Structure 1
Amino acid sequence: MNTLTAKLWETTKSVLPIAGVVVLMHLTVVPLPGVLLPRFGLGAVAVIVGLSLFLLGVEVGIAPIGRIMSSTVVKSGRVTVVMTVTFVLGFLLTMAEPDILIYAAQVNTLTSGVVSSILLIVVVSAGLAVLLCLGMVRILRGWKLRWVLLGSYALVALLALVAPMQYLAIAFDASGATTGPLTVPVVLAFATGVASLKRDSARSESDAFGLVAIACVGAILALQITSILLHLGALPSTGPTLTPDTTHLFEPLVRHFPMEARSVSLALAPLLALFLIGNVTVFKLHKSVRRSVIAGIVMAFLGLTFFLTGANGGFMDVGRTIGVSLALHGSAPLLLTIAFALGFLAVLAEPAVHVLTEQVQEVTSGSVRASAVMAAMALGVGLAVLLSTLRLVVPSLELWHLLLPGYLVAVGLAFVSSELFGGLAFDGGGVAPGPMLTTFVLAFAQGAAAGTPTADVVEDGLGLITMVALMPPIVIQLLGVVFQARARRRTNLRAKDPWASPAPTEGDDSLASPTACAKSTPRAAALAAGHQLADTSHGKKENS
Structure 2
Amino acid sequence: MSGLLQEILWSLGGTVIDVLPIITIILVFQLVLLRRPIPRAKRVFLGFVYVIIGLSLFLVGLERALFPLGELMAEQLTRPEFIYTHAAELDLHVDWKDYYWIYIFAAAIGFSTTIAEPSLIAVAIKANEVSGGAIGVWGLRVAVALGVAIGIALGSYRIVVGDPLHYYILAGYVVVVIQTFIAPKLIIPLAYDSGGVTTSTVTVPLVAALGLGLAETVPGRNPLVDGFGLIAFASLFPIITVMAYAQMSEWMEQRKAQSSSQELS
Aligned to 1:51: 55
The CA distance in 1 between the partners of 2:11 and 2:129, in whole Å, is 31
* Matched AA of 1:52: S
Q: Assess if the C-alpha contact under 8 Å between 1:196 and 1:205 holds in 2.
A: no
1:205 Cα deviation (Å)? 5.5
Q: Deviations over 1:451-506 (max 9, x none)?
A: xxxxxxxxxxxxxxxxxxxxxxxxxxxxxxxxxxxxxxxxxxxxxxxxxxxxxxxx
Q: What are the within-5 Å matches in structure 2 for residues 411-490 of structure 1? A: none
Aligned to 2:241: 222
Which of 206, 210, 213 is the aligned partner of 1:186?
206
Aligned to 2:173: 153
Which of 22, 25, 34 is the aligned partner of 1:21?
25
The CA distance in 2 between the partners of 1:52 and 1:109, in whole Å, is 33
Q: Assess if the C-alpha contact under 8 Å between 1:175 and 1:219 holds in 2.
A: yes
Aligned to 1:212: 231
RCO greater where, 1 or 2, for CA within 8 Å and sep 6 or more?
A: 1
* Matched AA of 1:137: Y
Q: Structure 1 residues 22, 225: closer, same or farther in 2, change over 3 A?
A: same
Q: Assess if the C-alpha contact under 8 Å between 2:148 and 2:238 holds in 1.
A: yes
TM-score by length of 1: 0.39
Q: Assess if the C-alpha contact under 8 Å between 2:152 and 2:234 holds in 1.
A: yes
Unpaired runs of 5+ residues, structure 1, are: 233-544
1:191 Cα deviation (Å)? 2.1
Q: Assess if the C-alpha contact under 8 Å between 1:58 and 1:182 holds in 2.
A: no
Aligned to 2:262: none
The CA distance in 2 between the partners of 1:83 and 1:55, in whole Å, is 27
Q: Structure 1 residues 66, 231: closer, same or farther in 2, change over 3 A?
A: same
Q: What are the within-5 Å matches in structure 2 for residues 70-469 of structure 1? A: 70-75=74-79, 76-77=82-83, 78-195=98-215, 198-201=218-221, 203=222, 206-231=225-250
Q: Assess if the C-alpha contact under 8 Å between 2:110 and 2:203 holds in 1.
A: yes
Aligned to 2:8: 4
The CA distance in 1 between the partners of 2:37 and 2:14, in whole Å, is 30
1:29 Cα deviation (Å)? 4.4
The CA distance in 1 between the partners of 2:69 and 2:134, in whole Å, is 35
The CA distance in 2 between the partners of 1:143 and 1:164, in whole Å, is 34
Runs of 4+ deviating beyond 4 Å: 31-34
Aligned to 1:513: none
Indicate yes or no: 2:43 matched with 1:39: yes
Aligned to 2:254: none
The CA distance in 2 between the partners of 1:195 and 1:32, in whole Å, is 53
Q: Deviations over 1:351-381 (max 9, x none)?
A: xxxxxxxxxxxxxxxxxxxxxxxxxxxxxxx
Q: Assess if the C-alpha contact under 8 Å between 2:147 and 2:237 holds in 1.
A: yes
The CA distance in 1 between the partners of 2:139 and 2:34, in whole Å, is 36
What secondary structure, in the 3-state scheme, does the structure 1 residue paired with 2:187 have?
A: helix
Q: Structure 1 residues 46, 231: closer, same or farther in 2, change over 3 A?
A: farther
1:150 Cα deviation (Å)? 0.9
CA RMSD of aligned residues (A): 2.6
Q: Assess if the C-alpha contact under 8 Å between 1:135 and 1:211 holds in 2.
A: yes
What secondary structure, in the 3-state scheme, does the structure 1 residue paired with 2:107 have?
A: helix
The CA distance in 2 between the partners of 1:113 and 1:37, in whole Å, is 36
1:145 Cα deviation (Å)? 1.3
Q: Deviations over 1:324-347 (max 9, x none)?
A: xxxxxxxxxxxxxxxxxxxxxxxx
What secondary structure, in the 3-state scheme, does the structure 2 residue paired with 1:16 have?
A: helix
Q: Structure 1 residues 107, 13: closer, same or farther in 2, change over 3 A?
A: farther
1:87 Cα deviation (Å)? 0.6
What secondary structure, in the 3-state scheme, does the structure 2 residue paired with 1:166 have?
A: coil
* Matched AA of 1:217: L
Comparing 80-89 with 114-123, greater Cα deviation is found at 114-123
The CA distance in 2 between the partners of 1:50 and 1:81, in whole Å, is 34
Comparing 189-198 with 51-60, greater Cα deviation is found at 189-198
The CA distance in 2 between the partners of 1:109 and 1:18, in whole Å, is 29
Q: Deviations over 1:44-102 (max 9, x none)?
A: 22222222222222322233321231122112233221111111111122233344344
The CA distance in 2 between the partners of 1:105 and 1:39, in whole Å, is 25
Unpaired runs of 5+ residues, structure 2, are: 84-97, 252-265
Aligned to 1:60: 64
What secondary structure, in the 3-state scheme, does the structure 2 residue paired with 1:161 have?
A: helix
What secondary structure, in the 3-state scheme, does the structure 2 residue paired with 1:209 have?
A: coil
The CA distance in 2 between the partners of 1:109 and 1:48, in whole Å, is 30
The CA distance in 1 between the partners of 2:57 and 2:122, in whole Å, is 17
What secondary structure, in the 3-state scheme, does the structure 2 residue paired with 1:231 have?
A: helix
Q: Deviations over 1:113-137 (max 9, x none)?
A: 4434443333212211101111111
The CA distance in 1 between the partners of 2:234 and 2:249, in whole Å, is 23
The CA distance in 1 between the partners of 2:13 and 2:126, in whole Å, is 28
Q: Structure 1 residues 68, 209: closer, same or farther in 2, change over 3 A?
A: closer
What secondary structure, in the 3-state scheme, does the structure 1 residue paired with 2:250 have?
A: coil
Number of matched pairs: 231
1:204 Cα deviation (Å)? 6.2
Q: Structure 1 residues 106, 11: closer, same or farther in 2, change over 3 A?
A: farther
What secondary structure, in the 3-state scheme, does the structure 1 residue paired with 2:55 have?
A: helix
What secondary structure, in the 3-state scheme, does the structure 1 residue paired with 2:182 have?
A: coil
What secondary structure, in the 3-state scheme, does the structure 2 residue paired with 1:189 have?
A: helix
Q: Assess if the C-alpha contact under 8 Å between 1:139 and 1:204 holds in 2.
A: no
Q: Deviations over 1:429-470 (max 9, x none)?
A: xxxxxxxxxxxxxxxxxxxxxxxxxxxxxxxxxxxxxxxxxx
Identity across the alignment (%): 30
